[in-house]
Amino acid sequence: MSIRKKKKWALLLAGIVLALFIISFLSLVIGTKDIKITDVFSIALNGKGTTEYSILFDIRLPRILMGFAIGGALSLAGAILQGIFRNPLVEPYTLGISGGATLGVSLNLVFGISRSFGILSMPLFGFLGAFFVILILYSLSLKKGVIKMNGLLLTGVMISFVSSSLLMLLQSITTAEDLQGIIFWIMGSLDESNWLLIKMCLCVSIAGLLLSYILCLDLNALALGEEEALHLGISVERSKRFFFIIASVLTGLSVSLAGVIAFVGLIVPHFLRMFIGGDHRILLVSSYLAGAGFLIFCDTLSRTIAAPLELPVGVVTGIIGGSFFVYAISRRGLLWEN
């Protein structure tokens, strides 16, 4: 590792962190009730009990924290999956993993499991759904070598279709009351008033980032292909299992708390790869932080662009991300030699 490269990485991280802070701060003061930037500190110090205080710290701050945790989690999951599948267009949403998590959480809602076993069973079911889909993808595309990398995306889209059909099936046999709950939840929002959930979400998301660094060099080696990674002394099967579990936990967590938010995991790592290359030592942490900033930005946009109406944040990321996806595919010949 040359010193020049370390400097470049440090500079990039500093830039992303700075941008993250600016976006978060703006997100704090912009909204239906704009708060002067200069007032934020005085409100924080002596404004307890005022309306401004509760807007800042009971409504907007939790959203920013959720945006941070979930944006980071989705983007990290995307970077990891792109590394393992060696395909720059995969992410939890395009592979149908989000769909699987959605189905898991809906089952939980319909059968009232969270009512009897507590709210934390929601992320657990999200995880199980996501993990199930990853297992299907894995056994189809990698183990037997039946489906090549391009087929992988197609399989993911099909899994999404199947899971949304199953979701409709669930919706059609459920009671009106549960139905409303499901629809409301699928629309997705970073609005979360339960501080226990917010803290758990932050902890799990950051833990995912830290854990992924244990084997991040394995991801680098895997980029050369599985046999090649084996030649470099990597226990390929073990590290794939490890990363599949991390990606499932991150996706399950995000979907169960904020609904389906598409494409964050695609755009952010994809863009960063163009700038800094494929070294996962910098890619993972920068994807996480940039993904966090990106989602906070999109969320701020979604609640201000049509104010007082609030759009689901998935709509904003879907439009930006979907357009980007098409652009990326059309340029793939240039970017990804394969």
Partner 1 sequence: MGELILEINGLSCGYGTEDILHDINFTVSKGDIVSIIGPNGSGKTTLFRALTRILKPSAGKIFFQGKDLGHMTYREMAKKIAVVSQEIESAWLTVEEYIMMGRIPYFERYQFFETSDDISITERYMKMTGVDHLRKKSMSEISGGERQLVAITKALTQEPELLLLDEPTSHLDITHQVGILDLVKKLNSEYGITVIMIVHDLNLASEYCNKLIMISSGSVYNQGTPQDVITYEALEEVYNTVVIVEKNPLSDKPYVLLVSEEDRKRFL
Identity of the residue, 59 or 214, whose beta carbon is nearer to partner 1 in the bound complex? 214
Pairwise CA distance, residues 40 & 56, whole Å: 8
Pairwise CA distance, residues 101 & 260, whole Å: 9
Q: Is 8 in the site for partner 1 (CB under 8 A)?
A: no
Q: Is 279 in the site for partner 1 (CB under 8 A)?
A: yes
| Closest separation in Å from C-beta 48 to partner 1 | 43
Q: Is 2 in the site for partner 1 (CB under 8 A)?
A: yes
Part of the chain binding partner 1 (CB under 8 A), chosen from 1-9, 32-40, 258-266, 300-308? 1-9
Part of the chain binding partner 1 (CB under 8 A), chosen from 45-53, 156-164, 184-192, 275-283? 275-283
Please state the separation of Cα 166 from the chain's center in Å. 23
Q: Is 270 in the site for partner 1 (CB under 8 A)?
A: no
Helix extents (H) in the chain: 3-29, 39-46, 51-54, 61-85, 97-110, 113-117, 121-138, 149-173, 176-187, 195-212, 216-222, 226-231, 236-258, 264-276, 280-304, 313-330, 332-335
| Closest separation in Å from C-beta 83 to partner 1 | 10
Identity of the residue, 34 or 337, whose beta carbon is nearer to partner 1 in the bound complex? 337
Tokens of 247: 């990606």
Q: Is 233 in the site for partner 1 (CB under 8 A)?
A: yes
Is the link from the previous residue into 269 a cis peptide, with omega within 30 of 0? no
Q: Is 223 in the site for partner 1 (CB under 8 A)?
A: yes
Task: Give residues with Cβ within 8 angstroms of 298, minimum separation 6.
Answer: 264, 313, 316, 317, 320
131 near 252, Cβ under 8 Å?
A: yes
Part of the chain binding partner 1 (CB under 8 A), chosen from 70-78, 158-166, 175-183, 230-238? 230-238
279-299 core/surface letters (b: 16 or more CB in 10 A; e: else): bbebbbbbbbbbbbbbbbbbb
Residues 179-208 that bind partner 1 (CB under 8 A): none
Q: Is 234 in the site for partner 1 (CB under 8 A)?
A: yes
Residues 88-117 that bind partner 1 (CB under 8 A): 88
Pairwise CA distance, residues 68 & 322, whole Å: 21
- Of 119, 200, 206, 230, the one binding partner 1 (CB under 8 A) is 230
Q: Is 18 in the site for partner 1 (CB under 8 A)?
A: no
Q: Is 281 in the site for partner 1 (CB under 8 A)?
A: yes
| Closest separation in Å from C-beta 30 to partner 1 | 36
Tokens of 44: 């924080």
Cβ neighbourhood burial of 195 (10 Å; 0-12, 13-18, 19+): exposed
| Closest separation in Å from C-beta 255 to partner 1 | 28
- Of 27, 75, 98, 220, the one binding partner 1 (CB under 8 A) is 220
Q: Is 232 in the site for partner 1 (CB under 8 A)?
A: yes
| Closest separation in Å from C-beta 265 to partner 1 | 17
Where do we find the tokens 């978060």?
A: 24
Pairwise CA distance, residues 39 & 54, whole Å: 14
| Torsion sign (Cα): 107, 109, 113, 118 | positive
Tell me, residue by residue from 56 to 95, as one string, x for binding to partner 1 by CB under 8 A and - for no binding: ------------------------------x-x-------
Identity of the residue, 35 or 86, whose beta carbon is nearer to partner 1 in the bound complex? 86
> What residues line the site for partner 1 (CB under 8 A)?
1-2, 6, 86, 88, 213-214, 216-217, 220-221, 223-225, 227-228, 230-235, 273, 277-279, 281, 336-337
